[in-house]
Amino acid sequence: MAKEVQFSLPRYEEIPDIGLYLDQTAKYINSYLEPLGDMNITPSMISNYVKHGLVENPIKKQYGQEQIAYLFLIAIAKSVMSLENIQVLINMQRERYASAIAYNYFRDELLTILAEVFEVPNVTDAPSPEASLEQKLCRNMVVAIAHKIYLDRSIRNFAAKEGS
């Protein structure tokens, strides 16, 4: 993968479950999102997502694995989707999949598609025909995210070369 997209997300099991305070949560998430450029999350954004029900309230002002996993999803997906549509996807997921399974699927799909977009010229955007509706929606969301990241990087690199 190209240097500028060397990016990873923790698996659900690797997300701290000791409870992080608001500022710690934002710093933790941003430490992973930094390679993606403009995708970040602030403490006020996190509070807003909690207020609007996208993420559960923190327990004793601390965010656990599930909340952090949802915050990763929201921080990345908001670049291509409205918060209302993200909420619909979260609600669909909650009805069918455990948070750990859904998050790990999102993570794996995002990393796979980012690699394909940056390394393989002919990317197949179609999800598997056997995939559930939730899996198809997740895959299409991460394809859009990967393409946006690719476009942003390409334009930034072109502008830097033109300015040299």
Please give the residue range of the domain that contains residue 79: 3-163
pTM of the prediction?
A: 0.82
Overall domain count for the chain: 1
Are 152 and 38 contacting, i.e. CB atoms less than 8 angstroms apart?
yes
pLDDT digits (tens, 9 = 90+) for 38-92: 789 999 999 999 999 999 999 999 999 999 999 999 999 998 988 998 998 898 8
The half-sphere exposure of 25 on its side-chain side, counting CA atoms within 13 A, is: 28
**Distance, CA of 109 to CA of 134 (rounded, Å):** 13
| DSSP notation for 61-92 | TBB-HHHHHHHHHHHHHTTTS-HHHHHHHHHH
pLDDT digits (tens, 9 = 90+) for 82-99: 899 899 889 888 989 999
